[in-house]
């Protein structure tokens, strides 16, 4: 296992996912009928995953909550038409994908922070960490920072696939549905992404 791989799931992970999905679907039925308490529970169950995915996709945690809020606004507005044709999380991450990809493309048309500025900020944050963090903590922080930078360098579909696999531990089949790709295409996409990430992180992997 490398720092790029998700931890192995517990034996009963799939059963827990199925049970959780059934609960989400039931909540969506109540949300569709206008139940605000059900909606609040749904947000509490999934907002961390949505915010984390958006933050890792954009490399900017400060803007993640705004886009996550847009995701859940769409969930609320679409609840009356919702049909459980796939896992709830598949549908939720598809909405997240659409909004994030739109934001990525908007930034490409009108960048607000240059790559040099981002690198300078990262360097300054690591220098600050050196003054307060023990060696082991600093090395771990540097590794996580290096992984985040390497993921940020990937094309958007590869980036989304890696984030959903590594951090949200989604199975390949669900990632394929989120990205509207075939299963072999997603496996190929992740293979290429991991190859590029391993090249970028080789000095960390060697150590």
At 175-188, the pLDDT tens digits run 999 999 999 999 99
Q: How confident is the model at residue 122 (pLDDT cuts 50, 70, 90)?
A: very low
Residue-level pLDDT at 134: 55
What structural domains does the chain harbor? 13-112 (1.10.1740.10), 153-207 (1.10.10.10)
Joined together, the tokens standing for residue 163 give 């984030």
Per-residue pLDDT averaged across 166-195, rounded? Answer: 95
Q: Is the pTM of this model over 0.85?
A: no
Joined together, the tokens standing for residue 88 give 């709830």
For the purposes of burial, counting CB atoms within 10 Å of the CB of 83, is it exposed (0-12), middle (13-18) or buried (19 or more)? Answer: exposed
Joined together, the tokens standing for residue 199 give 């090249």
Mean pLDDT over each residue of the chain, to the nearest integer: 84
């Amino acid at each position: 296992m490398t720092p790029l791989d998700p931890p192995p799931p517990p034996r009963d992970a799939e059963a827990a996912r199925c049970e959780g999905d059934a609960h989400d679907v039931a909540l969506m039925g109540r949300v569709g009928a206008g139940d605000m308490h059900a909606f609040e529970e749904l947000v509490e169950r999934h907002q961390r995953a949505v915010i984390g995915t958006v933050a890792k996709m954009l490399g900017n945690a400060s803007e993640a909550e705004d886009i996550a809020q847009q995701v859940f606004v769409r969930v609320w507005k679409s609840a009356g038409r919702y049909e459980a044709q796939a896992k709830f999380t598949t549908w939720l991450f598809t909405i997240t994908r659409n909004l994030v990809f739109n934001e990525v493309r908007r930034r490409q048309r009108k960048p607000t922070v240059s790559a040099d500025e981002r690198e300078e900020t990262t360097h300054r944050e690591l220098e600050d960490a050196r003054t307060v963090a023990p060696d082991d903590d600093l090395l771990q922080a540097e590794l996580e920072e290096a992984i985040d930078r390497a993921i940020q360098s990937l094309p958007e579909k590869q980036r989304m696939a890696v984030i959903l696999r590594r951090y949200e531990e989604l199975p390949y089949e669900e990632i394929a549905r989120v990205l509207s790709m075939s299963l072999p295409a997603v496996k190929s996409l992740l293979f290429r992404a991991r190859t590029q990430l391993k090249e970028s992180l080789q000095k960390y992997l060697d150590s």
